[in-house]
């Protein structure tokens, strides 16, 4: 039959047809009437005659992957080719052993010997389809990972255009869907939106935009924290991609930062009074000693012990005693400067560190004495304590209390913190022995 199809005038076409590495067919009406060796070899037949003069659907499973039966669909594909002249589509074929494979089919309507036929060429694309399926599975897995990531994720290309993101990106950074879903939206669009709503604080929005976009175009790894106006603390990490662009993650670390702050507060501050504890006092005292050596200024350490504190604990309990300690802490804070430190040393003992006193010894001693006397006066005023008792009426307790204060003034001397505390403690005991509610300076 091929001799009928390929006359003398089509010998060149016949030669190309026979030598083509891709399976090729001639369809007349709705039957295969010619094929090349590649077709027989690919399908696993020993002779072309085994599948010539048959409908194309005979070389296919009963149905195609889309659920359509192969015969009806083959008829439609050939009809489209005759109407349009050219039609390309994917098809599942069967080999002689029953094995199926994907093929990309091209149907071209041509004329041979003035007879309308269809020139059919197809290529095995099973490997490509397997790769596509693998990529699809990988993309679905990646999409699942991204959507379930505990933060926002974005991917910008080399032109800083948004090519991928998860749903949390819009919600976490409070971007409107009209912006995120806008075709061709880019990195600069998001930065502009942030700048115009004040996310970057005071400054020229245009300059803020220019600076941030310029840094982004460097495509460098980065990690930083940003506090949004609503108080949310974001940890933003960016990693450049090999072909340009970068992937970024945005993690809400607000709770983590708050927890760290609470831990730090427990480590450095007294739980009852919120004053610096011994650990933070030690750090402040070390800074004061270093500052004395640099500047020549002097400092003073005041050791306070409350007088007549034990009776209130014994009579009314520790809850009321704690109320007195809180009131004493507040009064101490009102007696010193912002540069000074008031710390709770333990029990009813407090330390006051006076910084940046005059370098002349007499002046620094006089200033420390004035502040110490001010503290004694403040702490000796009557305490009116309101004890809240659930299920009962509130209890109002008036208590008279005072403080004995020991003072040591120091400068750029070669001594330890422990020695300074020991000297201030000795001076405080001298104040106790002198009748309490008084101030004593350390005397070598």
pLDDT at 8 over 60: no
405: three-class secondary structure by DSSP:
strand
- CATH match of 2-129 with 3.30.450.20: yes
Q: What is the mean pLDDT of residues 240-264?
A: 91
pLDDT at 9 over 80: no
Burial of 323 (0-12, 13-18, 19+ CB in 10 A): buried
pLDDT at 190: 96
Domains 2-129 and 149-255 equal at CATH topology level? yes
Tens-digit pLDDT profile for residues 174-223:
999 999 999 999 999 999 999 999 999 889 999 999 999 999 999 999 99
User: 322: closest CA among 377, 383, 405?
Assistant: 383
User: 53: closest CA among 106, 111, 4, 108?
Assistant: 4
pLDDT at 78 over 90: yes
Q: Which fold has domain 271-441?
A: Alpha-Beta Plaits (3.30.70)
pLDDT at 297 over 90: no
pLDDT over 90 percentage in the chain = 66
Tens-digit pLDDT profile for residues 23-41:
998 999 889 998 888 888 8
- Using only the alpha carbons of the chain, give its radius of gyration: 44
Q: What is the mean pLDDT of residues 49-78?
A: 91
| In contact, 360 and 372? CB cutoff 8 Å | no
Give the CA dihedral 225, 228, 234, 239, nearest 10 degrees.
-70
Q: What is the mean pLDDT of residues 12-18?
A: 76
Q: What is the mean pLDDT of the chain?
A: 90
pLDDT at 243: 83
pLDDT over 70 percentage in the chain = 97
| In contact, 380 and 245? CB cutoff 8 Å | no
CA of residue 83 relative to chain centroid, distance: 57
Write down the pTM of the prediction.
0.54
pLDDT at 4: 47
User: How far apart are alpha carbons 87 and 77 in whole angstroms?
Assistant: 7
- CATH match of 149-255 with 3.40.50.620: no
Domain range summary for the chain, segments of one domain joined by +: 2-129, 149-255, 271-441
């Amino acid at each position: 039959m091929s001799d009928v199809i390929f006359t003398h005038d089509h010998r060149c076409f016949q030669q190309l047809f026979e030598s083509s590495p891709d399976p090729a067919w001639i369809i007349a009406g709705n039957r295969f009437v010619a094929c090349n060796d590649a077709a027989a070899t690919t399908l696993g037949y020993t002779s072309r005659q085994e599948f010539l003069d048959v409908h194309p659907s005979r070389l296919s499973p009963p149905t195609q992957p889309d659920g359509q039966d192969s015969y009806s669909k083959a008829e439609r594909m050939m009809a489209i080719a005759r109407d349009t002249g050219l039609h390309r589509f994917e098809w599942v074929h069967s080999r002689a052993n029953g094995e199926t494979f994907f093929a990309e089919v091209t149907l071209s309507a041509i004329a041979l010997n003035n007879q309308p036929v269809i020139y059919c060429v197809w290529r095995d694309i099973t490997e490509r389809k397997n790769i596509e399926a693998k990529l699809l599975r990988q993309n679905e897995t990646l999409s699942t990972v991204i959507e379930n990531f505990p933060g926002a994720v974005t991917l910008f290309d080399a032109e800083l255009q948004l090519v991928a993101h998860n749903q949390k990106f819009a919600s976490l950074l409070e971007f409107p869907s009209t912006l995120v879903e806008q075709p061709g939206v880019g990195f600069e669009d998001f930065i502009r939106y942030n700048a115009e709503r004040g996310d970057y604080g005071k400054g020229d929005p245009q300059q803020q935009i220019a600076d941030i976009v310029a840094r982004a175009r460097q495509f460098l790894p980065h990690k930083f924290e940003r506090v949004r106006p609503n108080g949310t603390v974001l940890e933003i990490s960016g990693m450049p991609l090999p072909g340009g662009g970068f992937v970024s993650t945005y993690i809400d670390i607000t709770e983590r930062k708050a927890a760290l702050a609470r831990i730090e507060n427990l480590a450095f501050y007294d739980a009852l009074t919120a004053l610096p504890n011994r650990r933070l006092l030690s750090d402040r005292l070390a800074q004061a000693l270093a500052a004395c050596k640099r500047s020549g200024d002097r400092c003073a350490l005041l050791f306070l012990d409350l007088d007549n504190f034990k009776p209130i604990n014994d009579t009314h309990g520790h809850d009321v005693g704690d109320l007195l300690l809180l009131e004493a802490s507040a009064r101490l804070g009102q007696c010193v400067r912002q540069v000074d430190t008031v710390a709770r040393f333990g029990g009813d003992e407090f330390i006051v560190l006076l910084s940046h006193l005059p370098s002349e010894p007499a002046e620094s001693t006089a200033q420390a004495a004035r502040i110490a006397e001010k503290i004694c006066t403040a702490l000796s005023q009557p305490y009116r304590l309101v004890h809240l008792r659930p299920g009962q009426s509130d209890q109002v307790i008036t208590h008279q209390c005072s403080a004995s204060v020991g003072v040591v003034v120091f400068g750029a001397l070669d001594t330890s913190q422990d020695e300074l505390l020991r000297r201030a403690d000795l001076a405080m005991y001298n104040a106790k022995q002198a009748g309490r509610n008084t101030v004593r300076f350390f005397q070598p």
